[in-house]
Amino acid sequence: MENNDKAIRATGGCLCGAVRYEVRGSLRPVIACHCTQCRRTSGHFVAATATAPDNLVLVEKKGLSWYQSSSFARRGFCRTCGSSLFWERTEGASDCISIMTGTLDSPTGLETEMHIYVEDAGDYYKINDGLPQKTGHEHRVAMPK
């Protein structure tokens, strides 16, 4: 999370400013995740982009905390305001760190590509935007080159 040599592609942060970041590289299209953990951490579902870990530069991190949310992943959030910011695989090699798209400063220039874990979607909404819908075990998301 410290590549300062590349041009800034995007900036973002939490609600209170105790966490600010820059992305210095490509961003993946947005994936909407409807898994139970994402719904519980966000209050609805998560819309996340991603970048290579070396492309994420933490400009302000005094509020950043990490929660090991499963045996294979952790979630970054602001301990001051509660904003959900990042998701990162901790088990095995990972080519990306997910960034909650709502924490990016506008304009993002991003588009949503698909919905995942649709079998866990809440019963109070419909996914009817015409984008591909995948179950948890059907999807494979790769970083753009």
How is the chain split into domains, by residue range?
10-120
Q: What are phi and psi of 130, to 5 degrees?
A: 85, 0
Q: What is the Cα gyration radius of the chain?
A: 15
Claim: this prediction has a pTM higher than 0.75: yes
pLDDT tens digits, residue range 56-113? Answer: 999 999 999 999 998 889 999 999 999 999 999 988 767 899 999 999 999 999 999 9
Q: Domain 10-120 falls in which CATH fold?
A: 2.170.150
DSSP assignment of 47-81 equals EEEEE-GGGEEEEE-TTEEEEE-SSSEEEEEETTT
Model pLDDT for residues 2-46, shown as the tens digit of each residue: 556 688 899 999 999 999 999 999 999 999 999 999 999 999 999
Place of tokens 């990306």: 96
| Residue 21: exposure state from Cβ atoms within 10 A (0-12, 13-18, ≥19) | buried
